[in-house]
Homo-oligomer: A and B are copies of this chain.
Amino acid sequence: MSTKKYSVGVDLGGTNIKIGIVSEDGKIIKKDSLSSKADEGPEKVIQQIKKAIKQISNKSKVKVIGIGIGTPGIVSSKKGTVENPPNFPGWDKVPLKQIIKKEFQKDVFIENDANAAAIGELMYGAGKNKENFIMITLGTGVGGGIILDRKIYRGELGAAGEIGHITIDHNGPKCNCGSRGCIEAYAGNRYIISRISKDISNHPNSLLCKMVSSEGKELSPKLIYEAACNKDDYAIGIITDVGKYLGYGIASAVNLLDVTNIIIGGGVAGFGRILFDSFEKTLIERVMKPFKSRINVKPARLKNDAGIKGAASLVFYKS
């Protein structure tokens, strides 16, 4: 029998719980998905998490040394609490670590999902050989994690790394967080789609507009990327702008932190080369002189299963 160590990684999302058994060297040997039933409140969600862990444990015979959970919201890794995750009604503050630990009698580690993604990249991905990096997760929102000296930087109460809420225009569009002109209000999935929805009729000849209006396709980051790959100037312009906006905001983070390695993951990172080129060019233009030559932008290496692997990595990262 193998002497490898394994952990369970739980990626808690507003819609689904994704779960996997992951080896110490970052390979998923089993995975599963379950509805998170967030609408039914914290007790139901906790039930679902327990169910998912039991199901996957029953399907595999390897010995699991611990459970890692990546979750939205403000997480105190020490205390093991999860506070007000967005899109999870009724949560307030839940002692999730303690609850899961009691049920399974195993070591449990919990972390904010964006931080878990950063730790995953540190352990198995594009951050493997880096002392310091800023991890950006482009999805519905824009998440972030800061790695300093190969440790996650948590701040005073565990809420650090809110890359998405760096302002790039104090007069800019309203952001969900209550402020204006945050990176997220430009580069978050839902903001991109909502902006284009209003603007697309001004570009009736663009391929993207045709795909949406004539072919009836749903506007999505993927569709924008498809149009851009087919040389649609309008779509290329949209992606280029997202890269610029990101660059303006991350320049502030680089100037503040003196950290010049940037790793970008998440769905919107699928915008590929157009996004990365525009981002990197803008970032180099905007950071202070001593940082320019050191800027190093890389795509995240953990792709679809980043959430599971990131969560699972918490067990090995900590132990």
Interface pair A252/B290, CB less than 8 Å apart: no
A161-B256, A288-B177 known; A167+B251 contact, CB < 8 A: yes
Task: Select which of B177, B180, B259 is within 8 A of A156 by beta carbon.
Answer: B259
Interface pair A168/B167, CB less than 8 Å apart: yes
A167-B251, A170-B169 known; A289+B258 contact, CB < 8 A: no
Interface pair B170/A156, CB less than 8 Å apart: no
A156-B260, A170-B248, A248-B170 known; A288+B165 contact, CB < 8 A: yes
Counting chain B CB atoms within 10 Å of each CB, which of A83, A166, A260 scores highest? A166
Task: Select which of B157, B163, B177 is within 8 A of A256 by beta carbon.
Answer: B163
In the assembled complex, which residues on chain B have CB atoms less than 8 Å from the CB atom of A154? 258
Interface of chain A residues 99 through 151 with chain B (CB within 8 A): 131-132, 144, 146
A74-B290, A179-B286 known; A248+B159 contact, CB < 8 A: no
Interface pair A167/B286, CB less than 8 Å apart: yes
Q: How far is the CA of A84 from the CA of B168 in the complex (A)?
A: 28
Q: How far is the CA of A163 from the CA of B169 in the complex (A)?
A: 16
Interface pair B252/A165, CB less than 8 Å apart: yes
Tell me, rounded to whole Å, the shortest Cβ–Cβ distance linking A50 to chain B: 28
Q: How far is the CA of A154 from the CA of B257 in the complex (A)?
A: 8
Interface pair A159/B290, CB less than 8 Å apart: yes
Task: Select which of B167, B181, B258 is within 8 A of A160 by beta carbon.
Answer: B258
In the assembled complex, which residues on chain B have CB atoms less than 8 Å from the CB atom of A286? 167, 170, 178-180
Interface pair B258/A157, CB less than 8 Å apart: yes
Q: How far is the CA of A248 from the CA of B179 in the complex (A)?
A: 9
A168-B170, A260-B156, A290-B83 known; A255+B178 contact, CB < 8 A: no
Whose C-beta in chain B lies nearest to the C-beta of A164?
B255
Interface pair A256/B258, CB less than 8 Å apart: no
Contact of A171 with B by CB under 8 A: yes
In the assembled complex, which residues on chain B have CB atoms less than 8 Å from the CB atom of A287? 179
